[in-house]
Each structure stands twice: as structure tokens, then as C-alpha cells.
Structure 1
Amino acid sequence: MCGDCSSEHVLHKLNRDHKLFPVDQFDSDEYAKELHARQNVLCDHNNKDPVEIFCSVCKKYICATCMFLEHKEHDCLRLKSAAVKRKEKLELHVRSIEKRSLLYDQIKTAAVDQKTAVEQERMKSKSQVNKQLELVIKMARQRAGDLLEEIDTMSNAKLEVLNTLFATATTEQNQLNDVVDFSRKLINHGNDKDVLQMVAACEQSNEGALQSLDIPKLPAALTQLQLITQDMEECVTNINSCFGDVVPAASGRLVRSIKVELTMSPKEFINHVTTGANGDTLIGIWCNEDKSRNRIHIYDTTFALQGTIPNPRAVKNNAFGGIAIDDDGNIVTSCQTSNEIIVYTKRGNKVRNFRSKSPEAVAVNSKGHYVVAGRYTLTVHHKDGKILQTTSDPGGKYQKYIHCNVNDDVIVTGDRMRVYDSTLQLKYRYGTQGDGDEQVNIPLGTCCLDNGDIILTDFGNNRLHLVSPDGKLKCFLLSKENGLHQPKDVAINHLGKLVVAEKEGVIKSFEL
């Protein structure tokens, strides 16, 4: 404040104990001492003793006397120690937030990359459409030119015939007219002697003309020219076929490949993969020879191992596997032999478990309900275990996998892929045995794109199918040519990358 204001300031009753310092004295010892003195807080019990202690139970600042009286059973620390302790706790929270903030940076970077890729693909796809349009137009013009030339050729051929016919008819008509003219002159102007001398020759000439000349006929086939075309619907279908369809396709570019360490004896392999909203990747490891070794590994975004959930029924060597993440961020898994669904925190602490008949796989729908693929059933549970819906679902030679899309359609695989709606009514089946189009050889894990397309692993054929929401093959998304080998499960991570788990322990990320 200025000099005038400072003079007025001390005149007010409430400000009379204030001490004013010039700005240039803020670094002085006197200012620091005065500031420290005024920051001392007095204890409530006598408003005299300064507070030195912090009671963490009452969340109050107290003096030493109070610590031994009202707060003697409480957790009390000197202010500095308490502040250090709270700073350490706050530091943990800050680090957690900073780590989460880094995830946002990763997502933003990935989003920028994808935006660039989308614009590039937009230009590329439009260029392809325009090239196809030019090709179709060129082909249409070429065909139209051929048709026009054919029309000219056919028309000229007809005209040539008609011109020849016309010329012949004119010549023969002139001959007849000459005979008629001579005969008319003889009749009208000839004397009797001339008539008698020439009539016989004239009659003979007339009869000869009638006998030798035949009136030409127009050929019926040359009187019409017809353009035979297909109906418009078939033309549209053919044009659509020429242009093709726009479908999502993996670029095939391998972003990352990680090898998970597995034992060879007893033989271990990867069975499941799923990803969390925070970028974690969860890997299910399976061992047929010793099911007590079945476990779930939890990796962070850098693929550093964060924790392991062991088989809770290892003592009984029960089968343990399948992974889903619920809307609380908990890990949901199953134990088929003990007929259990078991829920864990990401730190591996058990949250709850409940009974479900012979569960082979579990997924979580948009309502937070657990959808369980049993050996011969398909059941929707509330997260507390209550059965909400159930229906039969055929068993098969292979373990089932299950996934729920954004519309709560339920995708189950076994010997083939079956898709149910949210009421568990079967919509369609996909994939007969084989290696051709819409054929599979051991279908396993699935995941879905935002538009409803399904990505299906085809283990025996070393490829991924991209299937439309109505069950039609769009294309093979990835195959052996992209380095795919025995894919077991698929997921899409928080950065929009396609994560593929291969049986022998390799986790691959591909650009979509």
C-alpha cells in the first residue's frame, strides 16, 4: 500500500496491532521473526500455550499439556514429524496421479497418431474410390463405345442391304416403266398399221418383264434393332461389386512383441489375455499337467510384471482360468472343478466368490453383470452371485471363450462361434470346420470393435477373422503372413492396439 493508505490503516481499531514493513525489508531478519511469531497458533484449552503436537485421531493441533491429558491414548506426533508423514502419504497419492496422468499422455499421443492415420487412410481410401470410379467410368465408356460401334456396324449392314434392295427395286421399276411407256405410246399414238405390226412384240416384252422381275421383300430380321440390357438392380449390384466395400483392416504392422517366460516341463502355455482401462494387461497361464501352476500375471503399460494371482485351489489341483475385468476394476475368474466364480482386486486380494455350474469362461456386460459360459449352459449372474438369466449352450471338444459387446450380445466359442442377444436368444452361428472362407479350425478368443464387428481367433489356421454383426466374413484381419502363430486370445487395449496372445508365450500388439 502507499504511504497515505498505511497511515490510514493503523487508525482503524481492528488494525492497531498490525505491524507494517516496507517492501524492501521483506528479506530482513526482523520481518522473518515477526512473521514466524504471528504464525504461532495457541492451543484451545487455555489460548496461551502454542501448539506443538498434531493429534491424527482428532485431526487437531494441540499443546504438550493436552497430549498428556485429553489425547494421551491418541496417536500424536510433533508438528514437523506429522507434516513429514502426511507429505510422504501425499507423495504416494501424487505419484499415483502422475502415473495416471502419464496414461492420459499416452492416450493423447496414441489419439494424435490415430487421427493422423485416419486422415491418411481417408485420403488413401478416397483415392482408391476415385481410381475405381475412373476405372468403372473408363470401362463403361469403353463398353459404350463398343456398343455404339456395334450399333453402327449392324445399322450400316442393314442400310447396305436396304440400299441394295432400293437400288434393285428402282432399276427394275424403271424397266417396267419403260415397257409401260412404250405400250402407252403405242396405244395412244400409234396408227392402226403400227399397232398391228408391233403389238405382238410389245405383249411379248410385257410378259417377259412380268416373268423376269420379282418384287423384293424386306427381311423381317432387318427391320428391328434391340439393345438387350440387364435389369437395374443387377446393374447396381455389379457396380457395387466393382467398387467393393470399406471395412476395417489391420495394418499388419507389429508394434510390440513380448515373450512371457513359461516352463517347458511341465508344459505351460498362454490361454487368455485381457486389458484394463488403465493400460494393464492380464495374461492367463495354463498347465494341463499340473493345474496348480495355473495363474494370472498382471503387467503395466511398460509390460513390467506388477503381480500374480495364483491358483486358489492349487492344493486340489483344480482347473483355474479365464479373465474378465468388472466395472469396479476387479479381476473376475473361474474355477471349473470347484464350480466357482472368484473375484480379486488387482493386488490379488480376494473380494468374493460364488457358485456357478462348471464355468469355463466369464465376461462382464455393460450392466456390470457376470456372464458365465458353463460346460452346457450360459448364465447371467448379478455380481453378488444371484442368477438373473440362464439358457442351454452346447458343449464341445474345446474350451469355451466368451465376450460381451457394447450391445450386450454374448459371443461364445467352442467348436464354432455362437452369438446370443442380451436376452440369451441365439442370433446365429459362424464357422464350419475347415480352412476356407467362413471356416475355422479351433475358434477361441474374441473381441469386438465399436461398430459391432467381431474379431475371432482361428487357432489351427493361424489367422483372425473379421466378422460382421450379422455373421458374415468381411476379411481375414491377420494371418500367418503377418507373423501370427497359434493365436489363443485377443483384446483391444486402451491405446486402440490389437493385442494377440499366442500359445507359446508371445504377446503381440498390432496397429488396427
Structure 2
Amino acid sequence: MDVEETLAELVESNFLKCSSCCHDYQNPRLLPCLHSLCAECIQKLPHQISSQSENQESKDNIPNGKVLEQFACPICLSSIFLPDGGESAFQSNAFLFDLCKLYKYKHDSGRHCDYCQYAGKTVDAVSLCLNCHDDMCGNCHEAHQKTKITRTHQVVPYEQVKNGLYDHDIRQNQKLKCEEHEDSYLTSFCTDCEMLLCPECQTSAHVSHNIVDFENALPKYSKQIKGLISSIKTRLPSIQNYCEFLEKYSENLDQTKEQLLADTQTQAESLHRMIDECKDKLQKEIKESCEAEMNQAKDKLKNLQIASTSLHNNAHFLNQLMAHGKPEEVLVMHREITSRLTQLIKMQMDGLTAKLRIGFIPGANTEQNVQTLLGKLSNDMIPVGKSESNQLAGSELRITSVLPNVKSTPEFLLSFDSEGTDESRDIWPTGMAITKKDNVVIVDRDNKKIKVFDSVGKLLKEFTGQNDNKIGIPFDVTVLENDTIALTDYEKENVKVFTQDGNHLLTISGFFKHPRGITTNSKGEILVVDCRQQRITVHDPKNGNLIKTIDGLDKKGNRILVDPYYITTTHEDNILVTDTAAPNIKVFNMEGRLIAEYGTYGVKEQQILQPFGICVDDYGYIFVADNQNHRIHLLNPDGKLNKFLLTKSNSIWHPMAVNISKKGFFLVSEALGKVRLYKYL
């Protein structure tokens, strides 16, 4: 709050200046926001027409369907509704009005005697009656003191008024007039109606009310107002601190803006420079290769042209010799002629052994790749007061490499049925993995088998395990770094590891209730998602020991894995899990923190009916099998939908497991055993 001023200081300050016109207040009116303006200034402010429907917050104060005018307070910008009576209907600010009168007493020059004006005279006033508030000349002053009614009034000289000697006396004698009874002054307060009264008011509607004088009425309201002022005082430091925070925040934002603009400009210039350097290098190589080949071709051409001319001359000479030469002339040169002609017949033409084939294969000049090279703007909101550290690192899926173009329609390469031998039930290929030799490993859940096919679908091996290691109900499979096969078995509640020939190596048990999806990370560790325990476990591939448990929590610490199916990892070791409960794709970092989500339940774009297999290619593209919608979702590495890679129109039917071959082809298994192979880049 401001330091309290003396009355004299207050009257001489800008306290009496209207914020709109910047002049002394003229008929000051108190607005609902407690700011005051001249009545005329209120009238001059821009007004807007509004109605109840447009102002729901104030509908209790607006008659139904009534059109009102409103304006903005120039100090606090609050919206103020104009009362029915216009600006004059606002409460008069009696405090400012009386202070302005005091200011005029002290500063107005050329004040004239009020009594002489009644007689049609203009005489300078020299005195002021504090009781009547009348200006008087010297003669009228003397008459005023001789009149019985006014002889006790306090009359003071204007010179002393202007010097501020009677400020408090003037204020003490200033009274408020009754708006209803203009000739009466307000003298008392009705506590029932909470309004000021004049003597005439007391004889009408307030006869039976509790009427007290101002001094007795003030303590209650003074205490209330002082309490509110105290509350305001306690709030002001926090508001001031927040203002300082906002100023500093705005300053930091401006600095950040300038720095980011400079950084993006530098990055763009660097890319331009590198592109120009690469272009110059390519063009230099083009020129050198083409010019070297052109020079060689020119040399060959020149030599052949000389040989051609020589042969032409030889032929012409010999034709003439044979036509017109005498026998002895031919015979004398026959050795030279025979030798030369024999050389020419046996001569090999010095031509090109190979032609230069040169071309330009343009890179994928997509907007996505340009953005990847230039950089991505991290633009999000964090709660005020929370630490900003580590907000940008690992907070989302990101595109970290240039992406190749995806074919508008993937090229179908081949398909095969994943049939084995001696099978009594339909094939249900719930899992698929790829070996280092590009062999395809299929989990046949209902026939309780693991089948290994070569890259064109020829069955190489099938096994079910033996004795204690016999496979119960397998679900998913992955290939470990040593090219062995690890599968989940939810009937036996374990993970088994076999060689590709079916020899059992390891069983991991004691950690699972219903293991489903299985994969590995960049360290070769085994990750298993358990649908009953709604968690992910990480295991040592050598001995199966538990490395860590990932519960999969949201930002509030709640478990969000409901019915998880499949699992895969990105090159950054982020974990992607498909879940029948939306959002259907949940992404965690290795610490188990949720960093991204994708998909809701349904048939529309970015919706999934039943998410099954999921995999990631070398570029970070994410593939998701939407089993009930008969389609494959292709997501960019940042988790945004790129397109539907395959749909029912491509003959896809209930896709289950998905994977990428070593040659970079996309594989998908379907219900009842069909496996399809596509070239998508």
C-alpha cells in the first residue's frame, strides 16, 4: 500500500485527477470496480451493446432479453454495465467531490461574493463561511457576523484558506445533500436499510427503523472495510512477486525467442552450406567423370578419323595403281603393298571397352526429412512451479533419422501357409520372429508348436519340446543375439529358450502368471509383458535372472496396462506395448515412465478394434496389426499416423503378428496361418 499522505499533500497530488481525461475530477462517479471517472468521461468512453445471452456471468443482474451498454474501465479494463439512468446513475464519489471543492477553494482565482451577485453586483470575495460555504466580500462578511442566525458561523479569510490553514476545518464542515430532498443535508444512518438519511427522510419510510448518527454507524463498517484492506495488504506482496515473476518470465521468453531464432537460422545456414557443398561435390564428380569419358572418346575418335583418312588414301592410291599402273610398277611395290594391306586386315579397332553410365538418384526430399534435419521445436506447457529439468529429454517419441519414402501401395512379394506336419487343429500364428539368416519363426498357439521356415516359406524345422520342457500353450517368440529362440508359454507360466533345431537351453520361471509378448532390447536383454500381472519384466538372456520390473505407470503413478498383448522396443530402447484398453499403444522408457500413447477404440482413423502385433523397422517406423479392422497402422517414429499400410482391400484378413525381415521387407501373419511378405520402401 502507498505511504499515507497528509490532507494537504493529498489535495495537491494527482489523486484528484481523472484517469481518463487527466484533468481535475468533474462530477466524479464511483464504478463497481471502485475506480472513479468524471461523468462526462464515462459518456465519452467506447460503449458496446450486449444482452443477457452474451453475458451469462451477469445474467442475474440483467433483465431477461434486455439489451445493455457496457464499457471497459480504463484503469483495470473491467467490463462495466451502464445503469438504466446512464452515467449519472453511478454512485457519486462524495469523497473525491468534496476534496475537489477544497482544492478549488485553495486555487480558484477571481471568486466573487455570492451575496453581491444576488444584487446584480460583481465583487471579489475575500472570505469563506465554513458553515454556509458562501463566498463573501468584506462588507457582506461584516453583515454576516451581525445577523443573528449567522453571527456564530466560522468565516475565514481566503488568503489563509489558500495557504492551507483551514483544510481540516473546511473538511469538517462539508456535508452531503440528500438526493431526494435537495434542500436537506444527510444527518443520520438507517441500519435496517443501510442508507444515509436527512431529517425529512426519517419521517417517511424509516419511521420504525433503527436510526443512528454517523459516528455510531461508522465503527461496524469501518471495521469491515479495514479488515478487507488488511486482506488486500496481505495479498499485495504475493501479487507483486507474481508480477515480478511475469516480468522476468516475459524477459526470459524474449531472450529464448531470440536465441531460438538465432539457433534455427544457424542450423538452416549450416544445412544450406552442407547441401551446397554436397551439390558442388556431386557436380564436380559429374563433370570430372563425364569430361574424362568425353576426352577418351574424343581421342578414340581422332585416332579413328586419322586411320580412316589413311585407309581412304591407301584405297584410292591402290585403285588407281591397279587401274592405270604398268605391270612392272605394280610388281616393284608388291611387297610393301602386300605387307601394309595384311596389317590393315589384321588391325583391331581401338574403340571403347565400356560406356559410362552415370545418373542421379535423388534422396527422399520430404517435408518430414527436412524437419528432421533442421530440427524439431519442443513446444509444450509445464505446470508453473515445477522443475523444468529433464522436461525435454526423453519426454516423447522423436524422429532421429532421415526417413525413406513409403510406397503408396506396398509391393506384394509372396505368401505361404505356415503348415506343419500331423496337425489336428487350425493354425493360429500368434508369434513371429526373424533369424539372422532371414528364416521365419512362427508360433502356432493352438497346435502348440514352433515352426521355422526359410525366407520363401519352406518348412525347415518344427518342434514342441520334450518331457519337462514340452511346450504348453505358446504365444509369442523372439530371436536372441546368439540366434536362439525364446518363447512365452502362458500355460506353463514361463519362458523357454531353444536352439533353432529344437534343443532346450533354458527355462525362465517364477516371475509370470500369464506371459504374452516377448522381445529384446539393444543390450540383448529379454523383455516379457504379463497380462495378468499387468507389468513388464526384464531378464538376463544368459540365465534368466530378473534385472528389473516395469509396472507401467502414468504421470500420476497409476497402472495403465490393462490387457497387454505384444511388446517391442525402439532403437532408443523405448518400450511399445499393445493393449486392448485404449489408448491401445502405450510407450514407456526403460525406467517405466509413460512417454507417449496412440489410438482409441473404434474403426476410424487412429482407432483400433483389437491391437495385436507390433514392430519397429531400422528407420523407426512403427507397424501395428489391427486385428478386427483388418489393417496395418504405419506410424512415424514420433508416434503420429503416417497411413494405413495395408487394409482389407489389400486382402489382409485378421492380421496377428508382424515383423521386418533382414532384407527390410514387411511380414504379417494372419489368422489360420497365412504369412504375407511385402516391400514397402
The two structures have a TM-score, normalised by structure 1, of 0.49
| Richer in helix (by share) | 1
Higher relative contact order (CA 8 A, sep 6+): 1
The two structures have a TM-score, normalised by structure 2, of 0.37
